[in-house]
Structure 1
Amino acid sequence: MNATLSKIDAGGRLIIPAHVRKALHLEYGGPVVLTLVDGELRVRSVAYAMAELQAHASSYLAGDDASVDAFLAARRAEAAKEEGASADTPDQADATTMESDRGA
């Protein structure tokens, strides 16, 4: 682990040395994401944080998550019921017939 000693100035700002900013691809005035984890402060560029979130979401979506599969199966069954019910109602059939008679 690379440790670097730094300071917090009178205004409460943390001084991040140039070599650390360069290693993290942090630019002057650029936004950062601060995260507290187990008593530690983690500093990441927004671009890095977004890339990490996208990678996490991609791996989650690519995985075989049973709850997602169950949700999708239930939604497909519900949609199939709705399609079957709407085709069985006389009003829908009459409306479809009337539209085809008008040339719609």
Structure 2
Amino acid sequence: MSSQAVKIIDGGKLIIPAAFRRKLGIDTGDTVVIELGEDGLHVRSLSSAVRRAQEIVREFLPEGTDLADELIADRKIEAEHE
């Protein structure tokens, strides 16, 4: 794992080195997700965080389950009852 010392500037801003941003696939203006772990602060791109969340959800779904299809079916049933 790469490391580099950086300073916190006014307002608590942390400058992420350009090489790290490129490696993470983030650019100026992008939204990132930060997590406070026992071992420090973790920064990841929003798309990476979404992929990880999807992986976690998939662990609890039976094989072949399509949540989008289930949601659409539920909405159709609800619409029929209105």
Question: What is the TM-score of this pair, normalised by structure 2?
Answer: 0.70
Query: Where in structure 2 are the equivalents of 1:1-104 lying within 5 Å?
Result: 1-62=1-62
Cα distance in structure 2, aligned partners of 1:39 and 1:10: 24
Alpha-carbon distance, 1:4 to partner: 1.2
Q: Specify which structure has the higher proportion of helix.
A: 1
Cα distance in structure 2, aligned partners of 1:62 and 1:34: 30
Matched residues, number: 63
Cα distance in structure 1, aligned partners of 2:22 and 2:9: 21
Bigger relative contact order (CA 8 A; separation at least 6): 2
Task: Report which of the two structures shows the higher radius of gyration computed on alpha carbons.
Answer: 1
Cα distance in structure 2, aligned partners of 1:58 and 1:48: 15
Give secondary structure in 2 for the equivalent of 1:20: helix
Gaps of 5+ in 2: 64-82
Alpha-carbon distance, 1:2 to partner: 1.5
Please give the root-mean-square deviation of Cα atoms over the aligned residues, in Å: 1.4
Gaps of 5+ in 1: 64-104
Give secondary structure in 1 for the equivalent of 2:14: coil
Q: Specify which structure has the higher proportion of strand.
A: 2
Question: What is the TM-score of this pair, normalised by structure 1?
Answer: 0.56
